[in-house]
Amino acid sequence: MSLETGATTAPRTSLSVEDARHRILNAVSPIDGWERVAIRDALGRVLREDVIAPFNVPAHDNSAMDGYALRAEDLPDGIGERSFRVIGSAFAGRSFSGIVGTGQAVRIMTGGVMPAGADSVVMQEKVRTDGEHILISAGVQHGQNVRRAGEDLSEGSVAIPRGKRIGPADLGLVASLGLAELCVARRLRVAFFSTGDELASIGSPAAPGQVYDSNRYTLHGVLTRLGCDLVDMGVIPDRPEAIEAAFRSAAASSDVILSSGGVSVGDADFIRTLMDRLGEVNFWKIDIKPGRPMAFGRIGNTWMFGLPGNPVAVMVTYYQFVMDALLKIAGVSPLPERPLIPMVCATAIRKSAGRQEYLRGHLLCEDGTWKVRPAAAQGSGILRSMSEANCFIVLRESQGDVAPGDTVDVQLFDGLV
């Protein structure tokens, strides 16, 4: 593998968000290894083999309505009514075994198997009953209200393609095919640690000047949601030997290493030089706010991301650069779209050109119109802004100040699934 430095192609000393994303996603590749799991355990896992429909879905022609199954050619094609004799019933799960002849009809319920001889269903609302007979006027087309066998999926076709991350609808779809197990990629193993002499761990009192380590907890959250196996390596002090030992042990046990802090150019920032010494590294200044410095590289076969230390910057860089890389390494293909949704901004925003900004925003409905409002405090250390937000407001590099009522792009935190 070679990691481009970009120095020959890019005159600027820092990368755009888009370029950094491309470089990372082009560099990483999927892991090997798979297992078979029971379908319930496949939620959130990545499919390793196409799921093939073992039979037609639906398996038989069946009724889309409650009504009467009959032969369309028996119906009057102009005006007037025609009487049919009702010779039996076909309920869902209990079919009619006879044959529907001329002038005959079978009472049928939604999902009931179409009886032999019948080709169309007349809705019960369009029928007048008269003892054992029904009366129908003109206006029903041949094949109407019938769901055809194989209409959803034909036998042997791909029901869910390899590379898809299994969601609730997929679980139901697999169950509808009668399949009990799925072949999924093994879980990605991700080691992570925080660096900083100022960091206190929960359970011990924070001395003056210390702050509690929060980054390991947000990373625990995002990685758990992604379905990774986690190796939490705790807080590592700002000593090169300690960080080197952490990198070596993480590289031996995991597919990916995430560190936070120590990636700037201060005296206690050793991540970049150590990554460089132990493996291959690209250190980037990215034109992003928050989260400008970030290191990316590998030790042996293990990918490394040196994330910034500020808690909001950790989350922004994780979502913009790391998450899709982890999905690709886990075997997801194609990667999900990350749509930007234009939204009216409720308040003014000051924006200096040159960096793509990810502000924390809140979507709200005012007088029947959805708008986005930026969080009041946007500091890269203010995690409350992430906790209260439900979207990022994405202001492009070249964009200037935003006035109330202007349209801005937003990226939602949550989807339905």
State yes or no: residue 311 binds Mg ion (CB under 5 A): no
**Minimum CB distance to ligand AMP smaller for 124 or for 214:** 214
CB 128 within 8 Å of CB 134: yes
Q: Which does 348 bind (CB under 5 to 8 A by kind): ligand AMP, Mg ion, none?
A: none
- Token output for 381: 């250390």
- Token output for 411: 């990226």
For residue 346, the Cα-to-chain-centroid distance in whole angstroms is 28
Cβ-based neighbour number of residue 101 at 10 Å: 13
State yes or no: residue 112 binds Mg ion (CB under 5 A): no
Smallest gap from residue 302 Cβ to ligand AMP (A)? 21
Q: Which does 274 bind (CB under 5 to 8 A by kind): ligand AMP, Mg ion, none?
A: none
CB 298 within 8 Å of CB 1: yes
Peptide bond into 76 cis (omega under 30): no
What are the two backbone dihedrals, phi and then psi, of residue 124, each rounded to the nearest 5 degrees?
-65, -25
- Give whole-number Cα distances, 79 to 82, 104, 137, 281, in Å: 10, 20, 7, 81
Smallest gap from residue 196 Cβ to Mg ion (A)? 4
**Minimum CB distance to ligand AMP smaller for 199 or for 372:** 199
Q: Which does 310 bind (CB under 5 to 8 A by kind): Mg ion, ligand AMP, none?
A: ligand AMP
**Minimum CB distance to Mg ion smaller for 212 or for 370:** 212
State yes or no: residue 262 binds Mg ion (CB under 5 A): yes
Beta bridge partners of 297: 281, 304
Q: Which does 287 bind (CB under 5 to 8 A by kind): ligand AMP, Mg ion, none?
A: none
CB 349 within 8 Å of CB 372: no
**Minimum CB distance to ligand AMP smaller for 308 or for 374:** 308
CA distance linking residue 38 with residue 245, whole number of Å: 38
Q: Which does 329 bind (CB under 5 to 8 A by kind): ligand AMP, Mg ion, none?
A: none
Smallest gap from residue 200 Cβ to ligand AMP (A)? 9
With contacts defined by CB under 5 A, name the span among 37-45, 112-120, 255-263, 281-289 that binds Mg ion. 255-263
Smallest gap from residue 110 Cβ to ligand AMP (A)? 57
Smallest gap from residue 292 Cβ to ligand AMP (A)? 10
Smallest gap from residue 275 Cβ to ligand AMP (A)? 14
Binding to Mg ion by CB under 5 A, coded x per residue (else -) over 177-216, reads -------------------x--------------------
**Minimum CB distance to ligand AMP smaller for 58 or for 381:** 381
With contacts defined by CB under 5 A, name the span among 53-61, 175-183, 301-309, 384-392 that binds Mg ion. 301-309
What are the two backbone dihedrals, phi and then psi, of residue 351, each rounded to the nearest 5 degrees?
-140, 125
**Minimum CB distance to ligand AMP smaller for 209 or for 415:** 209
Q: Which does 199 bind (CB under 5 to 8 A by kind): Mg ion, ligand AMP, none?
A: ligand AMP
For residue 356, give every residue at least 6 positions away whose Cβ sits within 8 Å of its Cβ, in sequence order, or none: 16, 17, 287, 288, 289, 394, 395, 396, 397
Q: Which does 213 bind (CB under 5 to 8 A by kind): ligand AMP, Mg ion, none?
A: ligand AMP
State yes or no: residue 261 binds Mg ion (CB under 5 A): yes
Q: Taking phi first (over 0 means left), then psi (-120 to 50 degrees means alpha), and beta for anything else, what does residue 368 get?
A: left
**Minimum CB distance to Mg ion smaller for 183 or for 206:** 206
**Minimum CB distance to ligand AMP smaller for 265 or for 365:** 265
Q: Catalog residues that contact ligand AMP under the rule CB under 6 A.
A: 194, 196, 198-199, 211, 213-215, 260-264, 266, 308-311
Beta bridge partners of 302: 299
Which residue sits closest to ligand AMP, CB atoms considered?
309
Cβ-based neighbour number of residue 389 at 10 Å: 20
CB 363 within 8 Å of CB 343: yes
Q: Which does 264 bind (CB under 5 to 8 A by kind): Mg ion, ligand AMP, none?
A: ligand AMP
Long-range contacts of 207-216 (CB under 8 A, 24+ apart): 214/311, 214/383, 215/260, 215/261, 215/307, 215/309, 215/311, 215/314, 216/192, 216/260
**Minimum CB distance to ligand AMP smaller for 41 or for 198:** 198
Q: If 0-12 CB within 10 Å is exposed, 13-18 middle and 19+ buried, where does residue 376 land?
A: exposed
Binding site for Mg ion (CB under 5 A): 196, 261-262, 309
